[in-house]
């Protein structure tokens, strides 16, 4: 058996018998995690859906890649702040709906390593920082919604904001008989395989974009095959797909509030800047206060749920100082035993 992952060191005996059982126990006791939405959209400072909302053509949006530097994206600082604030895990957008990847991938050159001004594997750096501190590394991956790949779900058959409504149609997409969803499914499986074979132990694969497959025959996406593949690669990895697509996910991950009925482990994700997960300059001064975050954390604990709180790093990759002050204040309250 592989060595016990650092984030599961307190669950070593269980891990040696049943890795996923150990991971589920860890998750149930983790309570609190840090979510990071960072990507090309951060450069525009207008929400992570800026490409969709402003109908920026694929070829124009692609040019942001050469402006992506991430010079102040410091994974050592990020991991230190997570520990200081009482968090047990970190989740990062490895690839959001725009298709830009923050990791080394052989499947597309639309990534931070191939960006000439960056040349960094941000996921790899964060994986190392988390492992040294015993933090669980969770990897967000946009699954059902993709605004770049030519064979991703299109607006002919799928809703759920599958594509921006370009007029005329964007020439970078495949249409009609030329469209092959299987090509996109193979692309995603290959990338998730990279994430699970290059960065050591992963705590969770966190899928997003559920409204797209739910708008049609979601069985076409073969998600159970993907879940089984993930568990074969790393048996301790937990799988989430928002509020649940098949019902076989390891935990629920709804936005903002838990469901009325909780029948499995649950984590609620929420933003420090209400209304935007990626950095939005227009929301400066409107973020959650320490009291608001504290009440959210306490309320979810009472329901038996974790809180995954999101901050959108600034264009240069630095953590938003407005959020850091609040997170540190709440961390002090946790350490005084107020959440026990």
Residue 339's pLDDT is: 74
Looking at the predicted structure, is the pLDDT value of residue 1 above 80?
no
pLDDT tier at 224, thresholds 50, 70, 90: very high
Quick one: fold of 16-335?
TIM Barrel (3.20.20)
Enter the tokens of residue 114. 């191939």
Read off the DSSP letter of residue 111.
Answer: B
Is 202:192 a contact under the CB 8 Å cutoff?
Answer: no
Residue 340's pLDDT is: 63
Beta strand segments in the chain, E: 32-36, 89-95, 136-142, 204-208, 238-241, 267-271, 306-311
Please state, in angstroms and rounded to a whole number, the distance separating the CA atoms of residues 182 and 169.
22
3-class DSSP assignment, residue 93: strand
10 Å CB burial of residue 177 (0-12, 13-18, 19+) is exposed
Convert the pLDDT of each residue in 110-137 to its tens digit. Answer: 999 999 999 999 999 999 999 999 999 9
Looking at the predicted structure, is the pLDDT value of residue 16 above 70?
yes
Residue 337's pLDDT is: 81
3-class DSSP assignment, residue 19: helix
Cα-only R_g, the chain = 19
Please state, in angstroms and rounded to a whole number, the distance separating the CA atoms of residues 51 and 39.
12
- Mean per-residue pLDDT, 294-298: 96
Residue 44's pLDDT is: 98
Looking at the predicted structure, is the pLDDT value of residue 338 above 90?
no
Sheet with 238-241, side-by-side order of all strands: 238-241, 204-208, 136-142, 89-95, 32-36, 306-311, 267-271
Enter the tokens of residue 163. 């594509």
Convert the pLDDT of each residue in 59-113 to its tens digit. Answer: 999 999 999 999 999 999 999 999 999 999 999 999 999 999 999 999 999 999 9
Residue 108's pLDDT is: 98
DSSP assignment of 220-278 equals GG-HHHHHHHHHHH-TT-EEEETT-SSS-SSSB--BSS--SS--S-BEEEEESSTT-SS
With CA atoms as reference, report the closest residue to 303 among 253, 268, 338, 340.
268
Mean pLDDT across the chain: 97
- Mean per-residue pLDDT, 160-173: 96
pTM value?
A: 0.97
Percent of the chain with pLDDT over 70: 99
- Mean per-residue pLDDT, 287-293: 98
């Amino acid at each position: 058996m592989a060595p016990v992952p650092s984030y599961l060191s307190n669950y070593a005996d269980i891990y040696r018998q049943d890795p996923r059982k150990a991971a589920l126990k860890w998750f149930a006791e983790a309570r609190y995690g840090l979510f990071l939405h960072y990507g090309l959209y951060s450069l525009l400072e207008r929400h992570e859906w800026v490409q969709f909302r402003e109908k920026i053509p694929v070829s124009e949006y692609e040019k942001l890649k050469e402006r992506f530097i991430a010079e102040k994206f410091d994974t050592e600082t990020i991991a230190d702040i997570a520990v200081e604030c009482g968090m047990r895990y970190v989740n990062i957008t490895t690839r959001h709906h725009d298709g830009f990847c923050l990791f080394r991938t052989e499947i597309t050159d639309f990534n931070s390593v191939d960006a000439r001004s960056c040349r960094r594997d941000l996921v790899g750096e964060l994986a190392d920082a988390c492992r040294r501190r015993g933090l669980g590394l969770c990897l967000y991956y946009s699954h059902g919604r993709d605004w770049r790949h030519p064979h991703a779900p299109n607006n002919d058959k799928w809703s759920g904001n599958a594509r921006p409504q370009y007029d005329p149609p964007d020439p970078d997409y495949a249409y009609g008989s030329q469209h092959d969803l299987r090509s996109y499914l193979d692309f995603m499986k290959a990338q998730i395989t990279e994430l699970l074979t290059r960065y050591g132990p992963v705590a969770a694969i966190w899928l997003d974009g559920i409204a797209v497959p739910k708008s049609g025959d979601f069985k076409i996406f073969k998600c159970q095959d993907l879940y089984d593949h993930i568990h074969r690669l790393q048996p301790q990895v937990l799988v989430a797909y928002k509020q649940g697509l098949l019902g076989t996910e390891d935990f629920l991950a709804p936005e903002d509030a838990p469901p009325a009925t909780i029948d499995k482990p649950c984590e609620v994700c929420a933003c420090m800047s209400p209304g935007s997960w990626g950095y939005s300059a227009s929301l400066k001064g409107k973020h959650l206060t320490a009291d608001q975050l504290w009440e959210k954390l306490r309320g979810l604990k009472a329901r038996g749920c974790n809180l995954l709180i999101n901050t959108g790093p600034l264009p240069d990759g630095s953590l938003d100082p407005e959020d850091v002050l609040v997170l540190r204040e709440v961390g002090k309250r946790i350490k005084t035993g107020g959440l026990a």
